Amino acid sequence: MDSRISVIIPALNEAGCLRDTLTALGHPENVEILVVDGGSCDGTDDLAAAAGTRVLRSPAGRARQMNLGAAAATGDVFLFLHADTRLPCRFEQHVRAALRDPVVIAGAFRLHIDAPERALRLIEWGTNLRARWRHMPYGDQAVFVRATTFRQLGGFQELPIMEDFEFVQRLRRAGRIVIVPAEVSTSARRWRSLGPWRTTWTNQLIICGYLLGVSTERLATWHYQPRLAAGNEHFKKSC
């Protein structure tokens, strides 16, 4: 029998894009979908429930929400999906095919950014090259992992930022990560909030700061303050 996949979606005020994300999932066999709401005030939880999705409620914080979802999940494989990212058709087949290799402990998808700007094509190219050659995908590439491996590693560290980067670093030390030959499509809003190149530069600065030992609290400030100053409502933490 095919392995059971649990798709875990942490969400906070994501009503504007969650419907498309859930619609893209469809109704694949032996797949459960869990939306872990971090205290939305825009109807995100009601939207997810109306779509027939299992809804869990959690204090805000992506790592905390994903850990709670994993604790409640029943699958043999956990797939962590951002609320603004759509999985490809037959995603479950790609996940199961990748994990049939016993050497592979985790994987992710190629990245497509859902906007026409040429700068975003270059960012996609760089992201996919890094993920393929360094086996270092980021969270917006829909990382999936065997449930046993996730539990053995202790799940996500509950950090205010960089939780996916830190987790994938531990995965790399534990075994092989593959990039499957299919794309997720993620919203361009993060790159549009500050502009593609400023966003990319800020992201790289945060990664360098993390590797140099800068506290994740300070890194979170570097990440969120410019976007809040630009008036991006998505990055507001509470209602």
- Whether 220 shows a pLDDT value over 70: the answer reads yes
Q: What does the pLDDT average to over 123-152?
A: 94
Q: Other C-beta atoms within 10 Å of 132: how many?
A: 13
Query: Which tokens sit at 239?
Result: 């209602």
Residue 228 lies in a domain: no
Domain housing 79: 5-190
CATH of the domain at 128: 3.90.550.10
Task: Name which residue leads in pLDDT, 96 or 195.
Answer: 96
Kindly report the three-state secondary structure assignment for every residue of 181-239.
EEEEEEECHHHHHHCHHHHHHHHHHHHHHHHCCCCHHHHHHHHHHHHHHCCCHHHCCCC
In tens, the pLDDT along 56-94 reads 999 999 999 999 999 999 999 999 999 999 999 999 999
* Greatest CA separation for the chain: 51
SS3 of residue 134 by DSSP:
helix
Residue 226 lies in a domain: no
- Across the chain, mean pLDDT equals 91
* Residue 158 to residue 121: CA distance in whole angstroms: 32
In tens, the pLDDT along 17-49 reads 999 999 999 999 999 999 999 999 999 999 999
Residue 232 lies in a domain: no
| pLDDT value of residue 72 | 98
* Residue 161 to residue 210: CA distance in whole angstroms: 10
Residue 109 lies in a domain: yes
Q: What does the pLDDT average to over 120-148?
A: 94
Band (pLDDT 50/70/90 cuts) for residue 119 is: very high
Which pairs with CB-CB distance under 8 Å and at least 24 residues apart come from 117-125?
A: 117/188, 117/196, 119/191, 119/196, 119/197, 120/188, 120/191, 120/196, 123/191, 123/196, 123/200
* Percentage above 90 pLDDT, the chain: 77
> How many distinct structural domains can be found in the chain?
1
Q: What does the pLDDT average to over 141-160?
A: 96
Residue 198 lies in a domain: no
Residue 154 lies in a domain: yes
Residue 208 lies in a domain: no
Taking the C-alpha atoms of 98, 100, 106 and 107 in order, what is their torsion angle to the nearest 10 degrees? 0
Residue 100 lies in a domain: yes
* Percentage above 70 pLDDT, the chain: 93
